[in-house]
Amino acid sequence: MLTVTIEGLEDVSRKWANSVREIHDGATEAVIRAADAGVEEGKRSATWTDRTGAARRTIKATRAVSIFHSVHADMVAPLFYHRYLDAGTRPHEILPVRARFLRFHARDGTLVFAKRVWHPGTKGDGFAGKMYFNAQRVLRAELEAMAARVCAKWG
């Protein structure tokens, strides 16, 4: 009969539980940092003029949520016109809706009344894509650093 005794399994089990906890916490922190970095990149790299400050101010990252062993955070640009700033618009005609004339100030400051205006369209700057790619880059770097820290503890 052969009897095998393995000693120190409690230490391995404890070390394993600590590693799993550290991986979960590290992944959560990595997702938070990546989403925040993506949002900052979107705000920084946007080429559009933000007259009121609302377009940049409302771009936010939601906090990471851990559900069923997964972690996620969202980068949101919630205003209806964020999609036009990101993708641009086609040339289009603008007509008055609740009035007979459109009223606006021209670039030289003169007051203009018109029955219709042809808008030349706008070019989007793709800030949402820049947010995504920066978040992806930061997430990869954070996860690699976390994995290296956990592996270093195992020797």
CA distances from 8 to 2, 12, 15 (A): 20, 7, 11
With beta carbons less than 8 A apart as the criterion, state whether 38 and 134 touch.
Answer: yes
Predicted confidence (pLDDT) per residue in 9-44, tens digit? 888 888 899 999 999 899 999 999 999 999 999 999
With beta carbons less than 8 A apart as the criterion, state whether 95 and 119 touch.
Answer: no
Lowest mean pLDDT among 14-18, 76-80, 92-96, 101-105: 14-18
Closest alpha carbon to 28 in 57, 62, 77: 62
* Cα Rg of the chain, angstroms: 26
How sure is the predictor about 128, in pLDDT bands with cuts at 50, 70 and 90?
very high
Q: Does residue 153 carry a pLDDT above 90?
A: no
With beta carbons less than 8 A apart as the criterion, state whether 65 and 104 touch.
Answer: no
How sure is the predictor about 155, in pLDDT bands with cuts at 50, 70 and 90?
confident
Q: Please tell me the predicted confidence (pLDDT) of residue 13.
A: 87
